[in-house]
Amino acid sequence: MMPLHRVVAIRQALPVLIVFFCSSVIAQTSSQNYLSLNKAVSLALSNYPSILSKKATLNAAKATLAETKKSWLPNLKVSDQLDAGSNNNLNGAYFPMSIVPSNSGGRRLDNNSTMAIGNIATAYGDWEVYNFGLYGARNREADAALRIQEYNLGAEEYNIESAVIGNYLDLVKFQRLAGIQLKNIERTQIILDAIKAFVKSGLKPAVDSSVAAAELSKARLTYLDLVNTVQLLKIQLATFTGLDSAQVRADTALNILQKINLSESNYLDSGYFQHPLLKYQYAIYEDNLAQQNLIKKTNLPKISIMAAGWMRGSSISPSDEYKNLSSGFSYTRYNYLAGLAVIYNFTDLKRTQLKLNVQKYKSTAALETFNEQKTQLANAQAQANSALQNSIVKLAEIPIQKNAASAAYLQRNALYNAGLTNIVDLTNALYLLNRAETDEVLAADEAWKAFFRKMYAGNQVNQFISLFK
């Protein structure tokens, strides 16, 4: 069995080992490269499955448009068949409700089951030469559908960029908070070591060391929670970028830029109406209008040219004589046929009108969705502007809070060491300093997030990303 003093030593060292392990997750090595925001966004746009899916859908829409543009081409069918069977027929007509083989001639008083050979080769073509704008309507609808997929890809890329930026800023915040908490642990450990020395010499009561030990344990627990959050954010960012989470480390120094960039006023809303989300919603509306026009054109008359030629051979002679079966292999009759057809379905007028009414409602819904998106972006930008102004004021106040808290901590620490104050006052001062440092990180994060929301709503995400190049 392990000696008791070794068990106690291991238990005392365990929290220190845990903190050391967690700090390696945050700090790692000084030689490790940071994952820049630009690279994170670039990798996400290249690798994220939803982007690849939208690109494939866009390619499908391009292929559909190419197919639709060729729909005016005529049909030409060529066939050649050799048949063997009996030849019996009756006078009379019928509708071909199902597959009814053609059987010409062979009108007799009795059936004849003798086999005959027949041969026929055909060439048939038809061309819808004019349909009062239906071809154009189909092309315009296919083009509108293509624009939907183009703008859908743009909107998806915009949203993925925004999600990566939000994830990255969160990672920066929690990495910095973990660093602050690590400093808080170091301060608390120094205080605890000093108190233990005082307690051993009889200058301080033992309860002071217990209070300091409790504060140290609390700081370690907070640190562990922060480390866990950092790791979860790394995994999420790794999912976007396709990297291993061990390779993900945000650049916490980017917050230095806040005082320069957040107060700039040259980020106007000039690109607002070119916002990817608005373009996507408006493309849906335009496609609905194109479908309306297509429905109108569908029921208009259609003019077609038709032509056919065919050759036939048969082992049955014109006098109904059954010849040698091999005689049916050659062609003995030749025919051609040409025609012009005008087709108009009068009974489809009502159905077309009902379909048109349905499509009009869909178009109205698409327009209102576009207006809703526009209102949401305008509202988001107004809220972001207000939050940004508030954040700038808070950032100006933060140094005052931090300097005062730092001075108070130094004073309380000196007074405690001199025996002029108690452990409660010292731990309160330590808490205020930790709170001030934490507030600095939170205020910086709040400012960045407000600034980003403003840029997002104003179609300025690329300009936001350019700040970190």
- Is residue 104 over pLDDT 90? no
Of residues 462 and 28, the one with the higher pLDDT is 462
| Residues contacting residue 119 through CB under 8 Å, at least 6 positions apart | 80, 81, 82, 83, 312, 313, 314, 328, 329, 330, 331
- Is residue 4 over pLDDT 80? no
Given a contact cutoff of 8 angstroms between Cβ atoms, the answer to whether 155 and 282 are in contact is no
Q: CA distances (Å), 255 to each of 32, 176, 381, in order? A: 19, 10, 22
Indicate the domain borders of the chain.
33-67+136-262+270-291+351-466, 74-87+115-125+304-343
- Is residue 144 over pLDDT 60? yes
pLDDT of residue 318: 86
Kindly indicate the confidence band of residue 264, based on its pLDDT and cuts at 50, 70 and 90.
low
pLDDT of residue 96: 81
pLDDT of residue 43: 94
Q: Which CATH architecture has domain 33-67+136-262+270-291+351-466?
A: Up-down Bundle (1.20)
The mean-pLDDT minimum among 26-30, 85-89, 267-271 falls in 26-30
Kindly indicate the confidence band of residue 274, based on its pLDDT and cuts at 50, 70 and 90.
confident
Kindly indicate the confidence band of residue 89, based on its pLDDT and cuts at 50, 70 and 90.
confident
Give residue-wise pLDDT tens across range 275-297.
Answer: 999 999 999 999 999 999 999 99
Residue type, 39: K
Tell me what the mean pLDDT of segment 86-115 comes to. 85
- Is residue 354 over pLDDT 90? yes
- Is residue 257 over pLDDT 60? no
Give residue-wise pLDDT tens across range 393-411.
Answer: 998 899 999 999 999 999 9
Percent of residues, the chain, with pLDDT higher than 70: 88
- Is residue 58 over pLDDT 90? yes
pLDDT of residue 108: 84
288: exposed, middle or buried (Cβ count in 10 Å: 0-12, 13-18, 19+) = buried
Kindly indicate the confidence band of residue 28, based on its pLDDT and cuts at 50, 70 and 90.
very low
Rounded (5°) CA angle 122-127-133:
165
Total H helices, total E strands in the chain: 10, 4
- Is residue 54 over pLDDT 60? yes
- Is residue 22 over pLDDT 60? no
pLDDT of residue 255: 57
